[in-house]
């Protein structure tokens, strides 16, 4: 909608493009996009890349979405491998077999494969962003940069689906506990945690701002 028709998908009803070949396949035709700026950016990029193949055929965009889902799933699998390895080392429970089993259980999960590579559902990208947030939090030093990058990944995930905001309290509690363990000053954990909360809220506002039209 944004690339071809230059319309805001977060405020424009799909009925505005009822002559488009995709319209007949839309389930929610009476409301704007249920997804946020992150998915708008990703889908717009894919749409732009497939424009040379024409506007009337849906096949190029479908294939692009499926490939992006597959790519997201592969990247998530690599993150699972990395995360399980770091957790094993951190808790002193190193087991190559368990690490392989955990990774393959994720990689070969038929539901995940079907949703990512056949349905091309954006939950594959959502899961990747959440795993990235976890991955950035894992290094033992828990430096400020890791917290910032993890927060930004959570921001992108929230701006794909707003229900990810439910993870924010647990995310902030984790940062608070880590800062408590690593800093003797009482105020430091509070300041760091509050800073991440403000970064989270401010970044979401900035990402939604270009799409905000008359409230």
Instruction: Give one DSSP letter per residue of 178-193, joined into a string.
Output: HHHHH--SSHHHHHHH
Distance CA 201, CA 66 (A): 31
Q: How far, in Å, CA of 73 to CA of 152, rounded?
A: 20
pLDDT of residue 13: 75
| pLDDT tens profile 141-171 | 557 788 999 999 999 999 999 999 999 999 9
> Which of 124, 125, 177, 168 has the alpha carbon at shortest distance from 150?
168
| pTM for this prediction | 0.88
Residues 52-106: pLDDT tens digits?
A: 887 777 888 889 999 999 999 999 999 999 999 988 887 777 788 889 999 999 9
What is the rounded CA–CA span in Å between residue 117 and residue 12?
28
């Amino acid at each position: 909608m944004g690339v071809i028709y230059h319309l805001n998908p977060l405020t424009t009803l799909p009925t505005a493009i009822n002559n488009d070949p995709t319209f007949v396949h839309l389930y929610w035709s009476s409301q704007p996009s249920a997804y946020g700026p992150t998915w708008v950016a990703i889908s717009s990029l894919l749409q732009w890349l497939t424009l040379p193949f024409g506007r009337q055929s849906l096949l190029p965009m479908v294939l692009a979405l499926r490939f992006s889902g597959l790519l997201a799933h592969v990247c998530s699998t690599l993150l699972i491998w990395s995360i399980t390895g770091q957790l094993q080392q951190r808790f002193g429970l190193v087991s190559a077999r368990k690490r392989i089993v955990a990774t393959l259980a994720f990689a070969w999960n038929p539901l995940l494969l079907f949703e990512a590579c056949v349905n091309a559902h954006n939950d594959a990208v959502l899961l990747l962003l959440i795993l990235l947030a976890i991955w950035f939090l894992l290094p033992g030093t828990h430096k400020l940069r890791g917290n910032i990058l993890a927060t930004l990944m959570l921001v992108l995930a929230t701006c794909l689906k707003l229900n990810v905001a439910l993870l924010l309290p647990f995310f902030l509690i984790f940062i608070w506990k880590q800062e408590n363990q690593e800093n003797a000053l009482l105020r430091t954990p509070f300041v760091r945690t509050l800073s991440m909360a403000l970064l989270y809220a401010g970044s979401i506002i900035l990402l939604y701002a270009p799409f905000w039209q008359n409230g």
